[in-house]
Amino acid sequence: MIDLHIHTNNSDGTDTVQELLRKAELLKLKYISITDHDTCKGYKELENIDFSKIFSGKIIPGIEIKCAYKKRIIEVLGYNIDTSKMQKWLDDFYKDKKRSDLQRKYFNTLYDKCIKLGFKLTDKEKIVWNPNNDWASFTIYTDIKKHSKNESIAPKDMWEEFSNFNRKYCANPEHILYIDKTEDYPSLEMAINVIKQSNGLVFMPHLFIYKWVGDKKEFIEELVNNYDIDGLECYYTDFKDEETKYLLDLCDKNGLLKSGGSDYHGLNKAKIFLAKGYGNLEVPDEIVENWI
């Protein structure tokens, strides 16, 4: 088994790098990639330990970069990157945009929007969260769910699933809960360029999960046809079998590379297990052996 989409506590996961490696070893994973959001600091940690004593498989240097695309936020994965080059660029790009400051801004904006919609929320000062690691939208959503009266206000799909709240409503420019984050992140073009400049390969992850997309296949093919990408994440925790098949076929048709991963976050996504997703994910080794 392999897992090329994993987060540690260097971004929004809960496992340390060494805890992650121990879990990967127990699962006998052949390949892994730590793809923390907008940071390569986990790889700096690896430089200071003899990780071969912990994990016997191969670690593919990776990152997941949030980027702006048509007033929305999407993600792009970089593999086989020079992590030092990438971190230098990240430090420069985000020098005036600390994660904690951005999350506090989104928290305050979203809190006020929710109040205007009539949601009952705990007083701002009493909501316990860590803007260095926690997401503002998840923090607000968790508090919305604490107050039962909010169920009668929220649309059914919003109430039932955080991903709908986050990706369908907060990411929808036409909805009152929309938060425009595009000025805070690099454009998709810029993210692709910096991965290439870091000697890496560009993959588009979890393309079927964006709730705001109408025709998902049209959206995917637009990205494939118009951007300099190298591959697609074909295997993913939330994908249906037919979605995986469509992506595999699309890669074959367009000469693109293939990847896959769980999007493991530790306790922050407690139902998603390393390499196994919800329990039945299996990314075959052979799809990556021609590019790693």
| Residue in the block written with tokens 């079998």 | 241
Give pLDDT, residue 56: 96
pLDDT digits (tens, 9 = 90+) for 26-45: 999 999 999 999 999 999 99
Give pLDDT, residue 212: 85
Task: Write down the pTM of the prediction.
Answer: 0.90
Domain ranges of the chain: 2-96+189-287, 99-182
Query: What HEC string does the chain produce?
Result: CEEEEECCCCCCCCCCHHHHHHHHHHCCCCEEEECCECCCHHHHHHHCCCHHHCCCCEECCEEEEEEEECCEEEEEEEECCCHHHHHHHHHHHCCCCCHHHHHHHHHHHHHHHHHHCCCCCCCHHHCCCCCCCCCHHHHHHHHHHHCHHHHHCCCHHHHHCHHHHHHHHCCCCCCCCCCCCHHHCCEHHHHHHHHHHCCCEEEECCCCCCCCCCCHHHHHHHHHHHCCCCEEEEEECCCCHHHHHHHHHHHHHHCCEEEEECCECHHHHCCCECCCECCCCCCCHHHCCCCC
CA pair distance 59, 51, nearest whole angstrom: 10
Mark the ranges of the chain whose per-residue pLDDT is less than 70: none
- CATH fold of 2-96+189-287 reads TIM Barrel (3.20.20)
Give pLDDT, residue 222: 96
